[in-house]
């Protein structure tokens, strides 16, 4: 039962960190292009 609760949180955390990483990467590229 614990795995059923932990896995979704782990997956969501991974997706969230991935989204944040890509957003930061895109922002960095945009700033690089602007400058």
Q: What is the mean pLDDT of residues 4-29?
A: 87
Tokens coding 24? 């930061």
pLDDT at 12 over 80: yes
Tokens coding 13? 């955390």
Q: What is the mean pLDDT of residues 2-31?
A: 86
**What was the pLDDT predicted at 35?**
67
State pTM to two decimals.
Answer: 0.54
pLDDT at 14 over 90: yes
Band of residue 16 on the pLDDT scale cut at 50, 70, 90: very high
* Distance (Å) of CA 31 to CA 9, 11, 15, 20, 24: 32, 30, 24, 16, 10
């Amino acid at each position: 039962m614990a795995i059923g609760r932990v896995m979704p949180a782990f997956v969501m955390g991974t997706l969230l960190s991935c989204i944040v990483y890509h957003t930061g990467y895109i922002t960095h590229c945009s700033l690089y292009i602007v400058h």
